[in-house]
């Protein structure tokens, strides 16, 4: 509520001040507009140049790092070896699990006798 009242008072005082000092207000405004345009243009130039440098860097790195084709064959071979190793480990685990299940079932059958 205090903010609302403070804002209303500031707006009324601003309107009164502009009515009393209209010509000095326009004089300050006419001096501030070119300065603001100068700062905004300088900022736009800086940001545009920075973006242009980024695109130059991106283009340069794409030509500097060729991918040799020998590595792809090497990696494919490694993938195949790892797949085979994974399959053998799965088979070993399945056989161990089956052995454990048989060991668990065997004492149960002996207890029934």
Tokens of 6: 């403070």
Is the per-residue pLDDT at 26 higher than 70? yes
pLDDT for res 65: 57
**Nearby residues of 18 by Cβ (< 8 Å), 6 or more positions away:** 25
- pTM (predicted TM-score): 0.39
The domain spans of the chain are 1-66, 72-113
pLDDT in tens, 81-98: 999 999 999 999 988 888
> How far, in Å, CA of 98 to CA of 94, rounded?
6
**Nearby residues of 17 by Cβ (< 8 Å), 6 or more positions away:** 25
Q: Positive or negative, the Cα torsion across 105, 109, 110, 111? A: positive
Q: What is the mean pLDDT of residues 1-6?
A: 93
pLDDT in tens, 60-83: 765 555 555 678 888 888 999 999
Tokens of 35: 């300065």
- Find the Cα–Cα–Cα–Cα dihedral 83, 89, 94, 96, rounded to 10°: 180
How many degrees, rounded to 5, is the angle at CA 11 between CA 7 and CA 14? 135
pLDDT for res 48: 93
Q: How many CB atoms lie within 10 A of CB 25?
A: 13
pLDDT for res 84: 94
């Amino acid at each position: 509520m205090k903010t609302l009242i403070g804002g209303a008072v500031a707006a009324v005082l601003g309107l009164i001040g502009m009515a009393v000092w209209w010509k000095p207000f326009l004089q300050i405004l006419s001096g501030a507009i070119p300065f603001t345009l100068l700062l905004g243009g300088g900022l736009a130039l800086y940001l545009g140049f920075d973006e242009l440098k980024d695109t130059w860097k991106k283009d340069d790195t794409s030509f500097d790092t060729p991918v040799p084709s020998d590595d792809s064959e090497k990696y494919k071979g490694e993938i195949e070896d790892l797949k085979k190793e994974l399959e053998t480990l799965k088979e070993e685990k399945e056989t161990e699990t089956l052995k454990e299940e048989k060991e668990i079932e065997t004492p149960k059958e002996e207890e029934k006798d």
